[in-house]
């Protein structure tokens, strides 16, 4: 009887040992799986129609004197874009008309999500989307900031404080014999280019419609920037009523850029 009890205990010990080995193997196999990349900074999007302050909207969209208070309120409230997923893609549009011109403004937010964060983070996926849009805009991928381009074309890398020279011309030197500035001289064309100091990365497009005998030239300025896993698009259009009137590039770009910078700060709050 004693011998039988000893043999049984030995058998139980063997079973316990085998089970322990199996558990260790399963645990190690589970630890070998790659950890997913962290989720993007933003899990939701702000209301686009309320993202811009009323003072800035009034500067970009001057209302005609004939509008009533109710019409002004409706104008600056904006019209939200149709969206079936408010946490992924939202936008808002404003329209201001006067006898002299029509101005259009739109703001769009897109939150990018990587569906497999074991392969790519939300931020990396958002950068992939941004680079695709940069390529579609026919702008070069930004190179080193210390190597400015000498081209006079529209696509150049420039800092906010140093815009590129006017497209199709050379910058004037302050030497003797240079013509004095004239109030009738058209403002310079800043052109499309990659921007610095706006979000993680940004670019601006500046397009002027073709001139016609009966149609005025409209200027469309579009700024696209990325902040973490969100892509923001600001589009500002100025359409004069009279032919021969050209909306100035510096002023139109400056207004759009100030709004874009305010949106960057809004996301950083």
Helix (H, G, I), strand (E, B) or coil at 188: coil
pLDDT of residue 261: 97
pLDDT at 140: 84
pLDDT in tens, 118-165: 889 999 999 999 999 999 999 987 754 433 343 333 433 344 444 444
Please report where in the chains the tokens 């013509």 appear, as a residue.
Answer: 179
Sorting pLDDT into bands at 50, 70 and 90, what band is 30?
A: low
Which tokens sit at 130? 């941004």
**Residue 143 has what pLDDT?**
56
Residue 181, domain member (yes or no): no
On the question of pLDDT at 197 being above 60, the answer is yes
pTM of the model: 0.73
Cβ atoms of 154 and 166 closer than 8 Å: no
How far is residue 211's CA from residue 171's CA, in Å, rounded to a whole number? 25
When computed from its CA atoms, the radius of gyration of the chain, rounded to whole angstroms, is: 29
Residue 91 · residue 234 · CB < 8 Å? no
In a domain, residue 179? The reply is: no
Domain total of the chain: 1
210 band by pLDDT with thresholds 50, 70 and 90: confident
Domain annotation covers residue 20: no
Helix (H) or strand (E) holding 30: helix 2-31
Q: Phi and psi at residue 63, in whole multiples of 5°?
A: -90, 150
Size of the chain, expressed as the number of residues it contains: 269
Q: Is 122 within a domain?
A: yes
User: How many CB atoms within 10 Å of residue 230?
Assistant: 23
Q: Is the pLDDT of residue 59 over 60?
A: yes
Q: What is the pLDDT of residues 229-238, one digit of tens each?
A: 999 999 999 9
DSSP state of 210: P
What's the CA gap between 75 and 69, in Å, rounded? Answer: 10
Chain center to CA of 83: 18
Which one, of 126, 132, 112, 248, lies nearest residue 183 by Cα? 248
Asked if residue 7 has pLDDT above 90, the reply is no
Domain that holds residue 256: 53-144+155-160+188-269
Provide the mean pLDDT of the chain: 79
Q: What is the pLDDT of residue 117?
A: 84
Q: Where are the beta strands (DSSP E) in 18-100?
A: 79-80, 89-97
Reported as a single tens digit per residue, the pLDDT across 8-24 is: 444 444 444 444 444 44
Q: What is the DSSP letter of 92?
A: E
Residue 59: which of 261, 262, 259, 221 has the closest Cα? 259
Residue 240: inside a domain, yes or no?
yes
Q: Please report whether residue 14 resides in a domain.
A: no
**CA separation for the pair 224, 234 (Å, rounded):** 6
Residues in contact with 26: Cβ distance below 8 Å, sequence separation at least 6, in sequence order: none
Mean pLDDT of the region 193-217? 91
Does some domain include residue 69? yes
Write the pLDDT tens digit of every residue in 253-269.
999 999 999 999 999 88
Q: What is the pLDDT of residue 40?
A: 87
Nearby residues of 112 by Cβ (< 8 Å), 6 or more positions away: 40, 122, 125, 126, 129, 229, 230, 231
pLDDT(66) > 50: yes
Q: Which residues contact 68 (CB under 8 A, 6 or more apart)?
A: none
pLDDT tier at 211, thresholds 50, 70, 90: confident
Q: Per the domain annotation, does 216 fall within a domain?
A: yes
Predicted local confidence at residue 32, as pLDDT: 64
Distance from C-alpha of 58 to C-alpha of 74, rounded to nearest angstrom: 12
């Amino acid at each position: 009887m004693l011998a039988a009890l000893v043999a049984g205990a030995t058998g139980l010990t063997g079973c316990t040992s085998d089970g322990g080995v199996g558990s260790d193997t399963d645990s190690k196999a589970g630890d070998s799986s790659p950890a997913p990349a962290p989720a993007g900074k933003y899990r939701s999007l702000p209301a686009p129609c309320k993202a811009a302050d009323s003072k800035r909207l009034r500067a970009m969209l001057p209302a005609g004197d004939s509008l009533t208070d109710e019409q002004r309120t409706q104008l600056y409230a904006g019209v939200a874009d149709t969206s079936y997923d408010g946490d992924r893609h939202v936008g808002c549009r404003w329209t201001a008309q006067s006898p002299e011109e029509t101005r259009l403004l739109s703001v769009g937010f897109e939150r990018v999500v990587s569906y497999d964060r074991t392969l790519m983070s939300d931020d990396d996926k958002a950068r992939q989307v941004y680079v695709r849009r940069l390529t579609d805009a026919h702008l070069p991928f930004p190179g080193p900031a210390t190597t400015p381009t000498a081209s006079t074309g529209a696509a150049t890398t420039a800092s906010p404080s140093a815009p590129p020279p006017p497209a199709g011309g050379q910058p004037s030197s302050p030497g003797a014999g240079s013509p004095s500035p004239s109030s009738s001289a058209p403002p310079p064309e800043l052109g499309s280019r990659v921007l610095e100091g706006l979000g993680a990365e940004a670019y601006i497009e500046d397009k002027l419609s073709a001139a016609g005998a009966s149609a005025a030239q409209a200027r469309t300025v579009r700024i696209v920037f990325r902040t973490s896993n969100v892509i923001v698009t600001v589009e500002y259009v100025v359409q004069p009523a009279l032919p021969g009137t050209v909306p100035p590039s510096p002023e139109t770009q400056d207004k759009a850029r100030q709004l874009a910078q305010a949106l960057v700060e809004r996301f950083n709050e």
